């Protein structure tokens, strides 16, 4: 695993949790959404997204299950758990405090 | 529609998970890839391209599988915390440090390689610096040591030579540059007593010697000036060691009488334990006993030309070496005018700092070694910088993300420098540990006495030095990668697969570092090569005698019972008779001194019928029994050797060395000529033969002027027994000792050594330097090979696509090999060229230690460059093998 993975992992996890807060989604959808909403600045592909998802699932923050709908393929959907919701809130607070502090010093307006 | 499940499974490789779970994962990833593929095709992309894009991230990667499996197995652990808003620098640094440790722990191979490399560099430096510090830098352990000097007649090498007693007396009376001037001379009394006779290394000193060095006895008192006379000089000061060893630390020792070879002496004092006998050790042997010189002007050996004394001085405060030299020079010039018969026409004076005199011979080799280990450290730093740069290339995306998330350039530089600092500190800790263990070992293994080497240890100065090195190396190898890291274009790096930007400049930096590695390795290896050649040449020198199968023992026939020459000669003959009776002894002889034995016994040499001057040559004298030439296998050139018929009552005879014959009788036959030696009133010696020359001082020194006299005619009391044996000479050492004891129980025997050992010892200093340089250059070459391997592998990996295209376009394997090797060897060639230039600049510092080889010996340089090329080419093998296996299809898909 590469070096600053810790930080990337932290932010990737927050992104995934935030997307699942809105509704249940499958992996491909999550990847597409991250790419679209960051205008391509952040991109996940199959080899980087799934380890994040499995890690979150292992930690009980999300829960995945196979869903078969008529006329569509069998997909694995992920849902945010109560633990996940709490963690997301905690991470939001943390990041907000960080950006506020950073902004106070560096005076840049983040998107 | 392709079978994505099969495609994913093929690319993912084994997951090492429970099969049901593995199947689940494959299903999920296949689903993802299928979605991606469909979308791309829908967007108008050709199917083949869409397939490559959808599966691309899984290509060439057991890595993806490993990561997925690891994530799926991951135990619950704290989520990675976002950066905390508390911006206290210390806390930040602490966090960075912990973060760095975590990162390094995850890359144990990298961390271990970096730490071990640095430990080698820093450890070698700490070890050699410990020695340099103890031997060269630490002030002498005497009072105000910077004012201590050696004074004497200026020798050929500008050192202070010996002087006669009357000269010294005049210098002391007339000079104004010194607080004190003191005399010393060697002395080797035999101490009688309970544990048998023992020859003691001792020194005769003028009464002010201890005051001059500024150390007082810890027990009793110093010599008084009135004890420094022929009548009152039977007083001694003991070293702590001798006091403990022979007198069991007896507190009542002061005032007691002890029995030395020439009578009873009264102990007046004991020196402190911390009084290293550096002066005696340097000029003679480490003294355990001191007594006053006790000369007066009336004695025959007190004359001006009786140059067997050495003088030390303590400069007056504020007086420079040059001023003291002028002062003594003027005095000496006046003495030359007053006593023209006693001084050679060109007799200058020399004033040399005592510290320089003591460290003199080892200074140049130590400076060379210090330079060599600094080279090793530079290579270590270059290699670690290389490792860091390679790692950086892999970390680009992460760094870019940090930058995008607001990490400032300074913050990122700090993070990387902290990482370097942790590596450097770990390397330093390991290196210093190794140095602490190694220094005493080196001190023990040194074949040559190095003054104060025993004091070498890792101390505060060494730790400070290592800390400075660590700081310098941290910045040295950490800054370049850190600066590189801040130059990323974050968005580009994030959007691309992480292999796009910045790679080329990093590669250039890495290639430059490797070229520097090679250059330094060439210079180090050239130094080692020159030393190997020197030692080889030196051991190949014909010493003029055959050292194999010869045992030597030293003994002294002194004391009242040996006052008469006849007694000494008779006792010597008796010993030889008993020694010859030992089985395995082919020849036995006595000699006043032997070549390479560390003695000098040069006498003034005056030829009959020529004008005698103070400039008459000094000739090395060996007082020998007849069998000496047979025992040593010194060839007779002409005339005859000394025989048993040459006795005290017959004509005094002499055999001269080849060089003496040619130098003094260039166009005449010396046989039959008569000479006087030493003073002008001794007996005439008739030259009867000419023998081959021997190397006396050292193998590296050309033969001196030499002569042999008969022990029966000019009798020496300090003797070396020379035994030629048919078997291993060391095997009969015990029997030989017993034979001597049976002839004379009161004679101490010391320094028993095969003559071959003395020959080896004569090459010892060079061999020591050679071994260490070999070691350091070996490390350097190895590190360089690893560095070359790293750079070439990296460049092959980076150029997989290019190689693939070339192969697809019809390039053969040979072409690929040529491509990889060509670029690599161009780098090696550039490095080697710089290395030869560097070597030419640096090997001249070895000059003093070289023998029979020039500092820029072309064959050595060529050999070293060849070896480096071979090693570098070998380092290419694995990357080349990898390059020739590149599958063009796979390579092209990678993009």
pLDDT at residue B79, as a whole number: 42
pLDDT at residue B78, as a whole number: 39
pLDDT at residue B108, as a whole number: 83
pLDDT digits (tens, 9 = 90+) for B203-212: 999 999 999 9
Residue B849: pLDDT band with limits 50, 70, 90: confident
H or E segment and range at residue B332:
helix B321-338
Residue B502: pLDDT band with limits 50, 70, 90: very low
For range B580-601, the mean pLDDT: 89
Answer left, alpha or beta for residue B156, where phi above 0 means left and psi between -120 and 50 means alpha. Answer: alpha
Instruction: List Cβ neighbours of A90 (8 Å cut-off, separation of 6 or more).
Output: none
Q: The tokens of B342 are what?
A: 């006693």
pLDDT at residue B394, as a whole number: 67
Minimal C-alpha gap between A24 and chain B (Å): 16
Q: The tokens of B580 are what?
A: 């010859």
Minimal C-alpha gap between B2 and chain A (Å): 15
pLDDT digits (tens, 9 = 90+) for B771-781: 888 888 888 88
For range B186-203, the mean pLDDT: 82
pLDDT digits (tens, 9 = 90+) for A55-72: 888 888 898 888 877 667
End-to-end C-alpha distance for chain B, whole angstroms? 23
Out of B25-29, B213-217, B477-481, pick the least confident.
B477-481
- Crossing angle for the helix pair B755-762 and B503-539, nearest 10 degrees? 140
CA torsion sign for B423, B424, B427, B433 is negative
Q: What percent of chain B stands above pLDDT 70?
A: 92
Structural contact between residues B507 and B411, judged by C-beta atoms closer than 8 angstroms: no
pLDDT at residue B161, as a whole number: 83
pLDDT at B81 over 60: no
Contact A6 B31 (CB under 8 A): no
pLDDT at residue A6, as a whole number: 53
Which tops the pLDDT comparison, B669 or A108? Answer: B669
Residue B167: exposure state from Cβ atoms within 10 A (0-12, 13-18, ≥19) = buried
A85 close contact with B: CB closer than 8 A: no
pLDDT digits (tens, 9 = 90+) for B555-582: 888 777 888 899 999 999 999 999 999 9
Distance CA B736, CA B726 (A): 14
For range B501-506, the mean pLDDT: 50
Count the alpha carbons within 13 Å of B23 in the hemisphere toward its beta carbon: 4
Answer left, alpha or beta for residue B254, where phi above 0 means left and psi between -120 and 50 means alpha. Answer: beta
Task: Report ipTM for this prediction.
Answer: 0.86
Q: Which of the listed ranges A35-44, B60-69, B630-639, B884-893 does the model predict with the highest average pLDDT?
A: B630-639
Return the residue in A47, A56, A84 with the most chain B beta carbons within 10 A, the one to mutate for interface testing. A47
pLDDT digits (tens, 9 = 90+) for B260-273: 877 899 999 999 99
Closest CA to B705 of B763, B755, B655: B655
pLDDT at B722 over 80: yes
For range B29-45, the mean pLDDT: 87
Distance CA B282, CA B289 (A): 15
SS3 B675: strand
Distance CA A97, CA B855 (A): 67
pLDDT at residue B505, as a whole number: 58
H or E segment and range at residue B656:
strand B653-657
CATH of region A5-105, choose from 1.10.10.10, 3.90.1150.10, 1.20.120.1810, 3.50.30.30? 1.10.10.10
pLDDT at B493 over 60: no
Structural contact between residues B555 and B721, judged by C-beta atoms closer than 8 angstroms: yes
* 3-state secondary structure labels for all residues of chain A: CCCCHHHHHHHHHHHHHHHHHHCCEEHHHHHHHHHHHCCCCCCCCHHHHHHHHHHHHHCCCEEEEEECCCCCCCEEEEEECHHHHHHHHHHHHHHHHHHHHHHHHHCCCCC
Distance CA B888, CA B790 (A): 23
pLDDT at residue B76, as a whole number: 40
Instruction: List Cβ neighbours of B778 (8 Å cut-off, separation of 6 or more).
Output: B528
pLDDT at residue A46, as a whole number: 75
Return the residue in B23, B28, B63, B492 with the most chain A beta carbons within 10 A, the one to mutate for interface testing. B28
The DSSP code for B315 is E
pLDDT at residue B750, as a whole number: 80
pLDDT at residue B87, as a whole number: 45
How many inter-chain contacts (A to B, CB under 8 Å) are there?
143
Count the alpha carbons within 13 Å of B429 in the hemisphere toward its beta carbon: 6
Minimal C-alpha gap between A95 and chain B (Å): 6
- Average pLDDT score over chain B: 84
Chain B CB contacts of A59 under 8 Å are 74, 76-77, 79
pLDDT at residue B657, as a whole number: 95
Distance CA B418, CA B425 (A): 10
Structural contact between residues B230 and B296, judged by C-beta atoms closer than 8 angstroms: yes
Distance CA A78, CA B396 (A): 31
pLDDT at B82 over 50: no
Out of B36-45, B79-88, B255-264, B733-742, pick the least confident.
B79-88
Provide φ and ψ at B224, rounded to 5°. Answer: -95, 155
Strands B602-607 and B749-754 come out as unpaired
**Looking at chain A from residue 22 to 81, which residues have their Cβ under 8 Å from any Cβ of chain B?**
26-28, 31, 40-43, 45-52, 54-55, 58-60, 73-76
pLDDT at residue B339, as a whole number: 86
Contact A10 B82 (CB under 8 A): yes
- Residue B375's CB: how many other CB atoms inside 10 A? 24
pLDDT at B278 over 60: yes
- Reduced to 3 DSSP states, what percent helix, strand and coil does chain B have, rounded to the nearest 5? 55, 15, 30
Structural contact between residues B308 and B185, judged by C-beta atoms closer than 8 angstroms: yes
pLDDT at residue A11, as a whole number: 77
Chain A CB contacts of B32 under 8 Å are 27-28, 31, 46, 49-50
Which tops the pLDDT comparison, B406 or B752? Answer: B752
Rg over alpha carbons for chain B, rounded to the nearest Å, is 38
For chain B, the domains span 4-73, 155-347, 363-539+764-893, 558-746
């Amino acid at each position: 695993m590469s070096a600053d993975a810790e930080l990337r992992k932290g932010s990737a996890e927050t992104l995934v949790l935030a997307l699942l807060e809105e509704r249940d989604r499958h992996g491909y959808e999550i990847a597409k959404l991250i790419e679209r909403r960051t205008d391509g600045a952040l991109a996940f592909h199959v080899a980087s997204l799934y380890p994040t998802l499995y890690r979150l699932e292992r930690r009980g923050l999300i829960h995945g299950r196979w869903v078969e709908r008529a006329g569509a393929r069998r997909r694995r959907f992920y849902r945010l758990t109560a633990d996940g919701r709490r963690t997301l809130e905690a991470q939001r607070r943390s990041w907000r405090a960080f950006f506020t502090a950073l902004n106070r010093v560096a005076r840049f307006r983040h998107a | 529609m392709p079978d994505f499940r099969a495609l994913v499974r093929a690319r993912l490789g084994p997951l090492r998970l429970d099969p049901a779970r593995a199947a689940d994962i494959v299903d999920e990833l296949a689903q993802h890839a299928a979605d991606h593929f469909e979308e791309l095709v829908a967007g108008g992309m050709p199917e083949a391209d869409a397939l490559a894009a959808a599966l691309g991230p899984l290509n060439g990667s057991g890595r993806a599988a490993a990561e997925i499996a690891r994530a799926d197995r991951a135990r619950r652990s704290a989520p990675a915390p976002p950066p905390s808003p508390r911006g206290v620098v210390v806390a930040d640094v602490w966090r960075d440090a912990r973060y760095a440790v975590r990162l390094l722990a995850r890359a144990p191979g990298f961390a271990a390689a970096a730490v071990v490399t640095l430990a080698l560099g820093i450890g070698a430096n700490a070890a050699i610096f410990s020695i340099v510090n103890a031997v060269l830098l630490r002030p002498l352990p005497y009072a105000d040591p910077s004012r201590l000097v050696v004074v004497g007649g200026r020798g050929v090498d500008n050192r202070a030579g010996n002087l006669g007693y009357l000269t010294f007396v005049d210098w002391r009376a007339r000079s104004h540059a010194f607080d004190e001037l003191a005399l010393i001379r060697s002395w080797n009394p035999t101490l009688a007593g309970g544990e048998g006779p023992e020859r003691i290394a001792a020194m005769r000193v003028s009464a002010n010697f201890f005051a001059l060095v500024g150390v007082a006895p810890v027990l009793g008192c110093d010599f008084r000036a009135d004890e420094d006379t022929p009548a009152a000089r039977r007083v001694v000061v003991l070293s702590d060691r001798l006091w403990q060893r022979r007198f069991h630390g007896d507190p009542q020792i002061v005032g007691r009488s002890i029995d030395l070879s020439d009578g009873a002496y009264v102990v007046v004092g004991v020196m402190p334990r911390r009084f290293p006998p550096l002066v005696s050790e340097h000029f003679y042997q480490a003294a355990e006993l001191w007594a006053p010189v006790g000369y007066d002007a009336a004695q025959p050996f007190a004359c001006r030309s009786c140059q067997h004394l050495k003088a030390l001085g303590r400069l007056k405060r504020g007086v420079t070496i040059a001023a003291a030299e002028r002062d003594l020079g003027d005095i000496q010039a006046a003495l030359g005018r007053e006593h023209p018969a006693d001084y050679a026409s060109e007799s200058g004076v020399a004033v040399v700092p005592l510290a320089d005199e003591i460290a003199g011979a080892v200074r140049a080799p130590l400076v060379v070694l210090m330079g060599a280990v600094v080279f090793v450290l530079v290579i270590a730093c270059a290699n670690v910088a290389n490792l860091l740069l390679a790692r950086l290339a892999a970390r680009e995306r992460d760094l870019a993300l940090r930058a995008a998330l607001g990490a400032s350039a300074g913050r990122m530089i700090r993070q990387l420098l902290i990482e370097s600092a942790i590596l450097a500190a770990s390397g330093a800790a390991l290196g210093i540990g190794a140095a602490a263990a190694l220094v005493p070992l080196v001190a023990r293994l040194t074949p040559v006495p190095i003054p104060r080497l025993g004091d070498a240890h890792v101390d505060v100065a060494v730790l400070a030095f290592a800390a400075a090195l660590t700081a310098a190396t941290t910045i040295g190898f950490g800054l370049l990668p850190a600066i590189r890291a801040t130059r990323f274009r974050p968005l580009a790096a994030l959007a691309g697969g992480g292999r796009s930007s910045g790679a080329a400049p990093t590669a250039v930096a890495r290639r430059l570092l490797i070229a520097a590695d090679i250059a330094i390795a060439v210079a180090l290896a050239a130094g080692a090569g020159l030393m190997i050649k020197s030692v080889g040449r030196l051991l190949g020198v014909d010493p003029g005698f055959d050292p194999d199968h010869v045992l030597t023992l030293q003994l002294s026939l002194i004391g009242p019972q040996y006052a008469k020459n006849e007694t000494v000669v008779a006792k010597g003959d008796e010993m030889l008779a008993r020694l010859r009776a030992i089985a395995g002894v082919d020849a036995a002889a006595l000699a006043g001194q032997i070549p390479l034995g560390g003695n000098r016994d040069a006498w003034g040499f005056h030829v009959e019928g020529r004008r005698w001057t103070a400039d008459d040559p000094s000739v090395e004298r060996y007082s020998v029994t007849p069998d000496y030439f047979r025992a040593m296998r010194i060839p007779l050139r002409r005339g005859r050797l000394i025989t048993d018929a040459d006795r005290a009552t017959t004509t005094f005879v002499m055999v001269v060395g080849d060089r003496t014959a040619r130098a003094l009788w260039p166009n005449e036959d010396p046989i039959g000529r008569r000479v006087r030696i030493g003073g002008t009133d001794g007996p005439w010696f008739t030259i009867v033969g000419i023998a081959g020359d021997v190397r006396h001082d050292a193998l590296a020194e050309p033969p001196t002027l030499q002569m042999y006299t008969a022990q029966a005619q000019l009798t020496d009391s300090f003797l070396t027994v020379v035994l030629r044996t048919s078997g291993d000479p060391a095997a009969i050492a015990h029997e030989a000792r017993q034979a001597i004891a049976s002839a004379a129980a009161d004679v101490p025997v010391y320094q028993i050594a095969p003559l071959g050992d003395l020959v080896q010892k004569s090459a010892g200093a060079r061999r020591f330097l050679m071994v260490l340089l070999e070691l350091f250059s070996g490390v350097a070459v190895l590190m360089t090979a690893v560095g070359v391997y790293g750079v070439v592998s990296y460049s092959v990996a980076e150029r997989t696509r290019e190689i693939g295209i070339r192969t697809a376009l019809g390039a053969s394997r040979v072409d690929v090999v040529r491509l990889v090797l060509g670029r690599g060897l161009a780098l090696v060639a550039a490095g080697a060229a710089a290395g030869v230039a560097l070597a030419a600049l640096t090997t001249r510092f070895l000059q003093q230690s070289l023998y029979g080889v020039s500092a820029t010996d072309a064959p050595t340089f060529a050999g070293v460059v060849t070896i480096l090329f071979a090693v570098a080419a070998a380092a290419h093998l694995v990357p080349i093998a990898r390059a020739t296996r590149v599958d063009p299809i796979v390579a092209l898909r990678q993009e």
